[in-house]
Chain A
Amino acid sequence: MRRRLLPLVALAGLIALSLSLGAASFGDDAGWLLMVSRLPRTAAALLAGAGLALAGVVVQQVVQNRLVEPSLTGAPEAAMLGLLAVTLLAPGLAVAGKMLIAATAALAGMAGYLALAARLPREDPMLLPIVGMVYGGILGAAGVWGAWATDLMQYLGAWRLGEFSGVMMGRYEWLWAIAALAALLYVIADRITLLGLGEAQARSLGLDYAQTRALGLVVVSVITALVLVTVGAFPFVGLVAPNLVARWRGDNLRANLPLIALGGGGLLLAADVIGRLIRYPFEIPAATVVAVFGAGVFLWLLHAAPGRRHG
């Protein structure tokens, strides 16, 4: 029981810390400060982290590879290309329209990655993430070129390096859509677990594989777009949270999805809190903090083979 409560206690501590930290100090207008700035910032980090972690586990089940996550499938880079196009061609488009274009572009980017992945041999688990990195790099380079040529580098910079300092009431509420998507994923958790058994086995068990995979990827694209447009891109969250939970609790998503969401939210909030503390009162972007930490965990995942105890 104590082991189950521990993550919740840690998360509560993080939330309290996040609410009390900032350049402004609490005075007579403490309630207003909380409502307008601190609570939105805390909620945004939790929601974005939860969404990225859930998107990560869905992608991992689809490609049957634990070392892949949405930012290793070209999804954020493709979404940035879509956003650049919108900024150039229809700068006045409502936020919902931008989200839709970004999500569609992310979906197209992932479709391209999956088409590549289908041609790769599966024996070497490192191949899929490496190809994803290269593929995302090419799309990202196209984005940089486009932004450079059109003088939009500033936009691109904001998308590429996610952080929460600009989050306040009225500017992050789209992220609450992630809560609805998380509920949808929980409803279809068994189907997502079945995807991870591979196409033949999943279909033999009566799963509509193509439909389930499409639904999962649409959810991943929408989450990618929501997070990117609102607070920017964050690497590694989709990799670290699902892997840590899988090592601890296994792969049954019906039981573990809530924990993966909490883990991702906690991870991103912790990164934001650390970023606010290191050079107080200045800030380091949460994406930078999470990249340093995430890269470390990624290396550990590569080297620590799963505990094998052959019977």
Chain B
Amino acid sequence: MIEISDLSYAVGQTPILHGITTTLERGGITALIGPNGAGKSTLLHCLAGLERPASGRVRIDGLDPFTAPHRQRARAVALLQQSPALVSRLKVRELVGFGRWPHHQGRPGPEDRAQIDRALTAFALTELQDRALDTLSGGQRQRAFIAMTYAQDTPWMLLDEPLNALDPRHARDLMARLHGLSRDGARSIVIVLHDINAAAGWADHIVAMKDGRILAQDHSAALLTPEVLRDLYDTPFELLQHKGRPVVVAR
């Protein structure tokens, strides 16, 4: 369980998050939605212990991510950054292998190699494992980074806009894969999404953020009414139904 109470964060004098309080249950997918600049990425960085909040507290299964030893934190929570800008010549298998670093710190064992193989298989990268990252397409590279986060084998995976650069098929495959991973309760996933319909279709808990605050949240897609979405994005939406699932369209 992630407990966030009265979390505020500011860059200099500019406040980014204002008194965020919520609880994210273990298991399942929590989707963070909201307009650009709402503070979603900052919230993820605070949860991963990478930014120190101005006030308030965060507990990841009881662990304080700001004060916990680096290695212990890296085995509790993994963060996938938004579109890694890096142009590396690491091979896919080497990158995914670095997901195991918090576990072996430089001396990988058979369990680490097995986990790397599982991650490569899970994200359809086995064929690409010996390719250098800078020879891959944006979507393939994105999958390699997600596989690294998966190989880190943490109870919590925080993914910042992982659908960026993915074509519709790979976006659906990824959401289905994450959904599967989170069903048996082994992985809990917090994911920033701009595709509202992906959130409606796959998330167990939707948190809508605007201007550094939680505007609304619910454990069902019933949250996504045209009124809530209009307030969230300052633009009108229409709600359609397709095979029992809500589909929202910006007007």
Q: Is A306 an interface residue (CB 8 A)?
A: yes
Q: Is B73 an interface residue (CB 8 A)?
A: yes
Greatest chain B CB density within 10 A among A122, A206, A207, A246 is at A206
Query: Smallest Cβ distance from A211 to chain B, in angstroms?
Result: 9
Structural contact, A308 and B98, CB atoms closer than 8 A: no
Greatest chain B CB density within 10 A among A190, A194, A208, A247 is at A190
Among B52-60, B74-82, B189-197, the stretch in contact with A: B74-82
Proximity bits, B125-139, A CB within 8 Å = 1, else 0: 000100110111100
Tell me which residues across on chain B come within 8 A of A201, comparing CB atoms: 79, 81, 84, 86
Q: Which of B110-166 contact A (CB under 8 A)?
A: 128, 131-132, 134-137, 140, 152
Tell me which residues across on chain B come within 8 A of A204, comparing CB atoms: 48, 50, 74, 78-79, 81
Q: Size band of the A side of the interface?
A: 20 to 34
Interface secondary structure of A, over-half rule = loop
Structural contact, B50 and A203, CB atoms closer than 8 A: yes
Query: Smallest Cβ distance from A260 to chain B, in angstroms?
Result: 13
Query: Smallest Cβ distance from B47 to chain A, in angstroms?
Result: 11
- Total B residues in contact with A, Cβ cutoff 8 Å: 36
Tell me which residues across on chain A come within 8 A of B135, comparing CB atoms: 306-311
Q: Which of B61-89 contact A (CB under 8 A)?
A: 70-71, 73-75, 78-79, 81, 84-89
Structural contact, A306 and B137, CB atoms closer than 8 A: no
Give 29 A-B contacts (CB < 8 Å), ordered by A residue.
A190-B98, A190-B101, A190-B105, A193-B98, A194-B98, A196-B88, A197-B86, A197-B98, A198-B81, A198-B86, A200-B45, A201-B79, A203-B49, A204-B78, A205-B74, A205-B101, A205-B102, A205-B152, A206-B74, A247-B89, A251-B132, A252-B94, A306-B89, A306-B134, A307-B135, A310-B135, A310-B136, A311-B136, A311-B137
A contact residues vs B (CB 8 Å cutoff): 64, 122, 190, 193-194, 196-198, 200-201, 203-208, 246-247, 250-252, 254, 306-311
